[in-house]
A and B are shown apart, each in its own frame.
Chain A
Amino acid sequence: MKPPQPPILCSVLIEPRLALNFNLHQWDLLIRQARSANLLVRLGYLFDSTSLSNQLPAQPLAHIKSAQAYADRFYISLQWEINCIQNALTAVNVPLVLLKGSAYFIAENKAAKGRLFSDVDILVPEDKLLEVEMALIKAGWMTNTLDPYDQKYYRQWMHEIPPLRHLKRQTSIDVHHNILPKTTRFCPDANQLLANSVKIPEQNIWVLAPEDRVLHSAAHLFHEGEFTQGLRDLSDLDLLLKEFSTQENFWASLLQRADELQQQIPLYYALRYSHHILQTPVPGHVLKASQQQSPNRLKTALIDALFLRALMPIHDSCDNRWTGLARWLLFVRSHWLKMPVYLMIPHLLRKAYRRATGKKQH
């Protein structure tokens, strides 16, 4: 199983200037890969921030501009959505802690640039869950999933309640009480995450501490079963790491925090693959320290073979014959990480059955 050639998209994410020498055929491929990886808007911001945009050929530029127009509107709607959620939570006096994309957005992280998503994720203390859910329902959200199996599955095993959808705006919110399911073998203590969360200046909104934001992103990616957004998520990590690494003592506190939250393995993968695929400047000693958590060498070779495929954009030009298998194995692996085996088999069977009957998966 030879790893596939690195896609043209990865090369440009590493060095945007390369694109200046592209012929139209290469541009064609770049735009297609970026679109299927959900990175077209980010690519645009990358060109903007390196002042290359005015040197791009008109045709690819039109696609980038089109995607950016969509994104611009998305950010305005996101701000409006956050305001509405904040109003709803004020009623029950629970502070608003945003996660993932909305957190990057409100904290003005570079990883917010060109990140489009469909749900706002928030973190609330587990004992406030019911109160928050009621407050949101009162403010116009309602539960999406009426399937009793889904409801039970979420409430018994997951780290979030079933997604709520706003009746009028049709927007979706995921209310979490932790960043990983309760059944994960290395589940962090949510109180520690909340305790370290940081306030956004001049707003009554909170986000996880920078180290925790990285660890959450890593945990999410490397426990996630479906890699449809794999490269996008890895690019988030790349941007977060680059941005935070200018803070004093960041790397040491990141390693320490991974210990405290039991996220050493996801961090190891995050550093390894963002360095490997996107050449994130991770200092050698940090890679080495994180590697001490590494599985043995044989397993590393296997995991490498899987991740290096699955983290590529889902596009014909990036797939080789092993990609499908790699994605499937990682899907099974993620369930193994999250659930004890006796739970996993019936759940996967259930998923397979639902797929066969054409029902919507969660």
Chain B
Amino acid sequence: MSGACIITLPKNRLICCRFWDNECVLYNQLTGETHLIDDMGTEIFRLISEKTATRTQLLQSLHSVFEWDIDFDVEEVLDNLILQYQKLGLIVVTENTPA
């Protein structure tokens, strides 16, 4: 996944989020599914529910919030999460192609 990818919540307030500390619960209005998200996932949704972010921006923000062991592959975990959330219809990923 390229760093310039833009990650957003789906249109029309389809996904509603409620945050408590390091956890959040998401409701998908279309499918009626409710999801519990914690830790890194919560931070991702906290960020993109405020404004759209590129993958690079997400990574930066996560680095400022969490401290990881040196051998922890943040990028791999992040990409995995993004892929999962995308499959569940919780986020939209658009390739940012230069005009």
Assess whether A80 is interfacial by the CB under 8 Å rule: yes
Assess whether A253 is interfacial by the CB under 8 Å rule: no
Chain A binder among B27-35, B54-62, B65-73: B27-35
With the chains together, A80 CA to B32 CA distance in Å? 10
Interface residues of A in 68-98 (CB under 8 A from B): 73, 76-77, 79-80, 83
Q: How far is the CB of A73 from chain B (nearest CB, A)?
A: 7
Q: How far is the CB of A139 from chain B (nearest CB, A)?
A: 15
Chain A residues whose CB sits within 8 angstroms of the CB of B30 once the complex forms:
76, 79-80, 83
Interface residues of B in 3-30 (CB under 8 A from A): 29-30
Chain A residues whose CB sits within 8 angstroms of the CB of B29 once the complex forms:
76
Task: Name the interface size band of chain A.
Answer: under 10
Chain A residues whose CB sits within 8 angstroms of the CB of B31 once the complex forms:
80
With the chains together, A79 CA to B32 CA distance in Å? 12
Q: How far is the CB of B75 from chain A (nearest CB, A)?
A: 31
Q: How far is the CB of A70 from chain B (nearest CB, A)?
A: 13
In this complex, what residue of A is CB-closest to B28?
A80
In this complex, what residue of A is CB-closest to B29?
A76
Chain B residues whose CB sits within 8 angstroms of the CB of A83 once the complex forms:
30
With the chains together, A77 CA to B31 CA distance in Å? 7
With the chains together, A24 CA to B93 CA distance in Å? 55
Q: How far is the CB of B90 from chain A (nearest CB, A)?
A: 15
In this complex, what residue of A is CB-closest to B31?
A80
With the chains together, A76 CA to B33 CA distance in Å? 12
With the chains together, A100 CA to B1 CA distance in Å? 44
Chain A residues whose CB sits within 8 angstroms of the CB of B32 once the complex forms:
73, 76-77, 80
Chain B residues whose CB sits within 8 angstroms of the CB of A73 once the complex forms:
32
Chain B residues whose CB sits within 8 angstroms of the CB of A77 once the complex forms:
32
With the chains together, A274 CA to B29 CA distance in Å? 37
In this complex, what residue of B is CB-closest to A77?
B32
In this complex, what residue of A is CB-closest to B30?
A80
Q: How far is the CB of A22 from chain B (nearest CB, A)?
A: 36
- Residue among A73, A79, A80, A83 having the largest count of chain B Cβ atoms under 10 Å: A80
With the chains together, A37 CA to B32 CA distance in Å? 28
Q: How far is the CB of B58 from chain A (nearest CB, A)?
A: 28
With the chains together, A73 CA to B29 CA distance in Å? 9
Q: How far is the CB of A81 from chain B (nearest CB, A)?
A: 10
Q: How far is the CB of A74 from chain B (nearest CB, A)?
A: 11
With the chains together, A76 CA to B32 CA distance in Å? 9
Q: How far is the CB of B26 from chain A (nearest CB, A)?
A: 16
Q: How far is the CB of B47 from chain A (nearest CB, A)?
A: 27
In this complex, what residue of B is CB-closest to A80?
B30
Chain B residues whose CB sits within 8 angstroms of the CB of A80 once the complex forms:
30-32
Q: How far is the CB of A90 from chain B (nearest CB, A)?
A: 17
Q: How far is the CB of B51 from chain A (nearest CB, A)?
A: 27
With the chains together, A80 CA to B14 CA distance in Å? 12
Q: How far is the CB of A88 from chain B (nearest CB, A)?
A: 16
Q: List 10 A-B contacts (CB under 8 A).
A: A73-B32, A76-B29, A76-B30, A76-B32, A77-B32, A79-B30, A80-B30, A80-B31, A80-B32, A83-B30
Closest 7 CB pairs of A and B: A80-B30, A80-B31, A76-B29, A76-B30, A77-B32, A79-B30, A76-B32
- Given A76-B32, A79-B30, output 4 extra A-B contacts at Cβ < 8 Å: A76-B29, A76-B30, A77-B32, A80-B31
